[in-house]
Structure 1
Amino acid sequence: MRVIFNVDAITAPLTGIGRYALELARGLARHREVEALRLYSAYRWVGDPEHALAANRTIATLRKNVPFKTAALEAYTQLRSAMFRLHTRQMRDWLLHTPNYVLMPFAGPALTTVHDLSWLNYPETHPVERVRFLDRHLPRTLEKAAAVFTDSQFIADEIVTKLDVPRAKVRVVPLGADAAYRPRAHDELMPALAKHDLADKAYLLVVATQEPRKNLARLVRAYAALPASLRARHPLVIVGARGWLSAELESVLAPLEARGEVRRLGYVAESELPLVYAGAHAFAFPSLYEGFGLPVLEAMASGVPVLTSNVSSLPEIARDAAGEVALTVDPLDESALRGGLERVLEDAAWRDQARPRGIQRARGFTWARCVDETVAVYREVLASNSLREPL
């Protein structure tokens, strides 16, 4: 098979969708069934997955800083579509996959990935231009797509019920945890932890973009309600880019940061992030809504006890056949969050059983599996397409 893969989402700092796109691009490039792979970013071809990060930097800067964002985004979309039509006019027998919602116009078989419906369920947590863009363009993509990938059964059900996509068109392919996320020896951790002033600190880790859907303001208030002695033993460390609509979060963080009980590391380099995970005493991810919840999987793979939410897709990762692997609570209930934090930090018996169960649970989610299951859907779509073509 010959595949065109859109790599617009591979933009630093990598978030969940960017990581998914990067890992798929890497896996497709070496997959035995993919005889040819072309990567398209913005308005041109790029050479390989690693070049995409550099190639997308300028476009990402323009998107962030250009005024009149909605109008500019529409103009950019029209230009990109015209360029893609030009570049692919002789490639009808290829397959197109965009890993980030909206398809570009293409005459051959096309597939998309819809990671979640947060812009529809929580529009107030997104920039307005993003909501308008998806409202305008996603319905046509869903009609055109031969198959719609998503990351969890929860989102698959939402795509069917809320977007009226036929269930036969939807394919659930879970994400994976990189092998770099694993338990580490103390000496292996020390250089990275020392760099971030975390050496020998039993810290509570959060990895999330600082935006409302991640529910960080409630988490921080719950943390602030813990006994001072517990906060002193377990400082809160937040990794992730500053996002949007964060005034509430800033107000609750300020006094804790002033006392040194909370530290924000911002973006942590890809080479260091698995070490920061593995060095944590516990991990918290009380998001209001997720399409998958990759940080939860990465923390469990690292052997770190996890507190997460009991809503959306998160229980699909946090539970195995025997029950809860991670501790799940109502993310809207600050008293439940506070109690959950106390347990994940202090309950030694629970922590001792959570670590090995989390590692075992995470072993079932690999990027190799994600790539193989994605290629299997490509194969299915191409076979169906060939049957429909006239002789």
Structure 2
Amino acid sequence: MKLVLGVDAINPPLTGIGRYTWELAKHYSIGDYGFENVRYFSSGKWIADPLSLLKKDLNRRAGSRITKFLRPPAGVRKWRLQRAMRDSLFHSPNYFLPESATEGVVTIHDLSVFKYPETHPAERLHHFERSFASTLSRSSHLITDSEAIRDEVSSFFGWAKEKITAVHLGVLPEFRPYEATTLVEPLGRIGLSPGGYTLCVSTLEPRKQIDRLLDAYSQLAVEIRKAYPLVLAGSKGWLNDSLQEKIGRGEVDGWLRYLGFVPEASLPSLYAGARAFFLPSLYEGFGLPVLEALASGVPTLTSNSSSLPEVAGGAAWLVEPDDHVALREGIEKVISDDVWRAAAIKRGLDVASEMTWERCARRTAAVYKALN
């Protein structure tokens, strides 16, 4: 079969959807997945090599040459595009089919834009209002990141579950336990020491409930906060002015470090050196940071809502996302209960070992072939 993979989400730095798209593109370009051929499409043009999308400087230097190669005259371009779409299966890993695709497979990562519209910027809401109904009308099959979201999509849009497949995401092999001695130098560069902090990795947006995490953490015993300050890593996101104020107060009080965006290459060390990991999010389509923490051998707390229990697989301490007392007590347990921690680390490594990007790519390819 011939495949066209939409790669518009591949932009540095990679988001969760960008990572998912890149891993599919990478695996399909180097592995044997039974395709007659694979082509890549982004923003109305063909992409010869998806890796070029991660190299902005290279793209700028070679821009005129690449454009000339990928953008033939308009009439020829339209004919080629329509023919390629007609002869191939199109998969969009990022919610929307391009207008040139009369049908295809679409990955829906979550329904937060419909369930929690107040947590999204206006331009994203408008994009869904304009284009998502058209995408659904042309989709022959849907993919979700979890069974929880598969159930939601089926119920919300009235789709038969037979036309929706859940395919778990994967975790990079770099996310694993490391000897403390190997972490001293990379963590020392940012003023941290192995085992001397706890961690949350999240974009600062409302449904992640970072404000509730900070409220609970601020009420821990002083000796716990002093021994294990909370490190918060992630881009600033949106709709978070009051959260920024709380972050500032926590930093002044000395129990919080906000690192902002952390380069992907630095994340494995940051995870592996943490005493514990927390993600009390209200809603996640998958919750990739939870999987990364489990793979790193870090005891984890997360919410008992949406896909998070499914991803955690019995390895994390689960709490009601809006229960302040349960969150505070859960944080203390995950930090301090050595018996629970030892069992959670072992279980977490077992869960993470089953979720690889190679497995994700193969299960996704199996969806394509079932439709062919």
After TM superposition, the score normalised by the length of structure 1 is 0.87
Matches within 5 A, 1:238-387: 238-319=232-313, 324-382=314-372
Alpha-carbon distance in 2 for matches of 1:162, 1:56: 42
Alpha-carbon distance in 1 for matches of 2:323, 2:216: 9
Partner of 1:6: 6
Alpha-carbon distance in 1 for matches of 2:156, 2:144: 14
Matches within 5 A, 1:58-97: 88-91=81-84, 92-97=86-91
Change (3 A) 1:224 1:37: same
Alpha-carbon distance in 2 for matches of 1:161, 1:194: 49
Alpha-carbon distance in 2 for matches of 1:230, 1:107: 55
**Are the counterparts in 1 of residues 183 and 194 from structure 2 also a CA contact under 8 Å?**
no
Q: Secondary structure at the match of 1:263?
A: strand
Q: CA RMSD in A?
A: 2.1
Alpha-carbon distance in 2 for matches of 1:191, 1:2: 47
Change (3 A) 1:84 1:278: farther
Residue type of the partner of 1:46?
Answer: I
Partner of 1:71: none
Residue type of the partner of 1:349?
Answer: V
Alpha-carbon distance in 2 for matches of 1:281, 1:111: 41
Whether 1:231 and 2:225 are equivalent positions in the alignment is yes
Partner of 1:191: 185
Q: CA deviation at 1:237?
A: 0.6
Partner of 2:49: 48
Partner of 2:16: 16
Whether 1:137 and 2:137 are equivalent positions in the alignment is no
Q: Secondary structure at the match of 2:292?
A: helix
Change (3 A) 1:365 1:200: closer
Alpha-carbon distance in 1 for matches of 2:135, 2:10: 20
**Are the counterparts in 2 of residues 13 and 267 from structure 1 also a CA contact under 8 Å?**
no
Residue type of the partner of 2:118?
Answer: E
Q: Which runs of 5 or more residues in structure 1 are unaligned? A: 59-81, 383-391
Change (3 A) 1:57 1:142: farther
Q: CA deviation at 1:30?
A: 2.0
Q: CA deviation at 1:187?
A: 2.3
Stretch deviating more after TM superposition (223-232 or 189-198): 189-198
Alpha-carbon distance in 2 for matches of 1:87, 1:251: 53
Alpha-carbon distance in 2 for matches of 1:56, 1:248: 36
Alpha-carbon distance in 1 for matches of 2:90, 2:211: 40
**Are the counterparts in 2 of residues 210 and 216 from structure 1 also a CA contact under 8 Å?**
yes
Alpha-carbon distance in 2 for matches of 1:311, 1:183: 27
Partner of 1:78: none
Identity of aligned residues (%): 43
Q: How many residues are paired up?
A: 356
Q: CA deviation at 1:279?
A: 0.8
Change (3 A) 1:318 1:200: closer
Partner of 1:75: none
Alpha-carbon distance in 1 for matches of 2:282, 2:194: 31
**Are the counterparts in 2 of residues 8 and 56 from structure 1 also a CA contact under 8 Å?**
no
Alpha-carbon distance in 2 for matches of 1:19, 1:203: 27
CA distances 1:310-353 after superposition (whole Å, capped 9, x unpaired): 0001010223xxxx310000111111110010000111111111
Alpha-carbon distance in 1 for matches of 2:229, 2:76: 50
Q: CA deviation at 1:57?
A: 11
Partner of 2:148: 154
Partner of 2:70: none
Change (3 A) 1:159 1:56: farther
Matches within 5 A, 1:159-238: 159-200=153-194, 202-238=196-232
Change (3 A) 1:278 1:144: same
Alpha-carbon distance in 2 for matches of 1:85, 1:298: 42
After TM superposition, the score normalised by the length of structure 2 is 0.91
Q: CA deviation at 1:299?
A: 0.4
Q: CA deviation at 1:106?
A: 3.6
CA distances 1:76-110 after superposition (whole Å, capped 9, x unpaired): xxxxxx99856512212111111000101245651
